[in-house]
Amino acid sequence: MNYLEALSRRYSVKKFNKEIIPQETLHNILESGKLSASSLGLQPYKILIVESEEMKQKLIPAFYNPSQISTCSHLIVIISKKTIDESYIRGYFNHISEVRDIPLENLDLFKKSINQHIVQKSQDEIFNWAEKQSYIVLANLMYAAAIENIDTCPMEGFREDMIEKILGINPETEKVTVTLAIGYRSEEDAFQYMKKVRKPNEKLFKFI
Ligand SMILES: Cc1cc2nc3c(=O)[nH]c(=O)nc-3n(C[C@H](O)[C@H](O)[C@H](O)COP(=O)(O)O)c2cc1C
């Protein structure tokens, strides 16, 4: 299946068939999230993977469309950071230094410019910036899944306060941005048989 075929086959599933995705396939999909590009490379997010049936059941009341949660194989929850402090940036640079075997001093200029860039942002700006990065992760996970023949439904229709409570997320420092239910489409899901509704090219694209 090529890229466009995978994207055309993809649709937002309303009901999965409850089958569990093989571990290796799940691993490949998650790697695509890990390989996502992020502004300054700071990856201001965390990716939670809900695999326990018990936890899925607990989360059902938090969703406005619960049918995906009760039938999916896994629920991926993308959490965006609300704050970036100096210790987070220090950790990032220690990691670069270790992975690339570069002395920390050689990264000083880059570190200074990142510190300046981040420090001048308000908390709202940090959070808006972090959320944008989270949606890149969402898109990569969704399309990697499509190529692996795994179905998905991106979901923003939830009560974030409920999810945060259930998953033990600290709302002072983090926020649930978006979730992705993954699994296999149920034959009963009528949406898979519907045509895609998209703007015509002349309304969507403009060549200049
Ligand atoms: C960020 C985002 C959030 C979404 N939230 C929901 C949701 O909460 N519930 C749902 O059933 N579909 C949700 N959708 C699916 C959209 O309704 C769907 O992508 C759109 O109607 C196009 O249909 P298609 O994905 O089947 O091609 C969401 C999609 C995106 C990208």
Q: Positive or negative, the Cα torsion across 187, 189, 190, 196?
A: negative
Ligand 1 atom 24: residue of nearest CA: 11
- pLDDT value for 1: 79
Q: What is the pLDDT of residue 41?
A: 95
Note the pTM of the prediction, 2 decimals.
0.96
- Please report the pLDDT score of residue 119 as a whole number: 79
Contacts of 64 (CB under 8 A, 6+ apart): 157, 158
The predicted pLDDT at position 189 comes to 98
Angle, helices 86-100/108-119, rounded to nearest 10 degrees: 150
Instruction: Return the residue whose CA atom lies nearest to atom 31 of ligand 1.
Output: 154
From 16, 68, 155, 199, give the residue whose CB has the most ligand 1 atoms within 8 Å, as the site to mutate. Answer: 155
Query: Are the C-beta atoms of residues 16 and 181 closer than 8 Å to each other?
Result: yes
Rounded distance between C-alpha atoms, residue 4 and residue 18, angstroms: 26
Residue nearest to ligand 1 atom 4, measured at CA: 155
Q: How far is the CA of 136 from the centre of ligand 1 (A)?
A: 15
List residues bridging with 174 in a β-sheet.
Answer: 81
Give the pLDDT of residue 36: 98
In angstroms, the first-to-last Cα distance of the chain is 32
Per-residue pLDDT of the chain (208 residues; tens, 9 = 90+): 799 999 999 999 999 999 999 999 999 999 999 999 999 999 999 999 999 999 999 999 999 999 999 999 999 999 999 999 989 999 999 999 999 999 999 999 999 989 888 878 998 999 999 999 999 999 999 999 999 999 999 999 999 999 999 999 999 999 999 999 999 999 999 999 999 999 999 999 999 9
How far, in Å, from the CA of 122 to the mean position of ligand 1? Answer: 30
Q: How far is the CA of 111 from the centre of ligand 1 (A)?
A: 38
Residue 40 near residue 93 (C-beta atoms within 8 A): no
Strand order in the sheet with 174-183: 45-50, 74-81, 174-183, 151-155
Closest ligand 1 atom to Cα of 68: 11
Q: Dihedral of CA 123/127/133/137: which sign?
A: positive
Residue bearing the CA closest to ligand 1, atom 9: 155
Considering the four listed CATH numbers 3.40.50.740, 3.40.109.10, 3.30.450.40, 3.30.450.20, the one that applies to the domain covering 3-83+124-189 is 3.40.109.10
Ligand 1 neighbours by CB, cut-off 6 Å:
11-12, 65, 153-157, 178, 196
> Measured on CA atoms in the order 79, 127, 32, 116, is the torsion positive or negative?
negative
